[in-house]
Amino acid sequence: MPGSAAVQLAFRVPPPAVDACHAELVAKCVPILRGPTDLPQWRHRTQFFRDPEGDILEIYAEY
């Protein structure tokens, strides 16, 4: 919808799932904003991508 704000959603998964999700997203040509990245200060491994409507989605794991 023109003029509407994008949504950002985060989904927590088990640690091995971050890289598995990334591989599946790449195989399906999903636009990746940031591939799997460790954020030690938060103890997270995270990645960001866009859905077909342009919303930002995050897959993350705590470690």
Whether the predicted pLDDT of 1 surpasses 80: no
pTM, two decimals, is 0.84
The Cα-based distances of 23 to 6, 16, 41, 49, 50 in angstroms read 24, 11, 25, 12, 15
- How many other C-beta atoms are found inside a 10 Å radius of the C-beta of residue 56? 14
The Cα-based distances of 56 to 8, 63 in angstroms read 5, 23
CATH architecture of 9-62: Roll (3.10)
**Average pLDDT, integer, range 15-21:** 97
E runs forming strands in the chain: 8-12, 32-39, 44-50, 56-62
Confidence of residue 58 (pLDDT cuts 50, 70, 90): very high
- Domain coordinates of the chain in residue numbers? 9-62
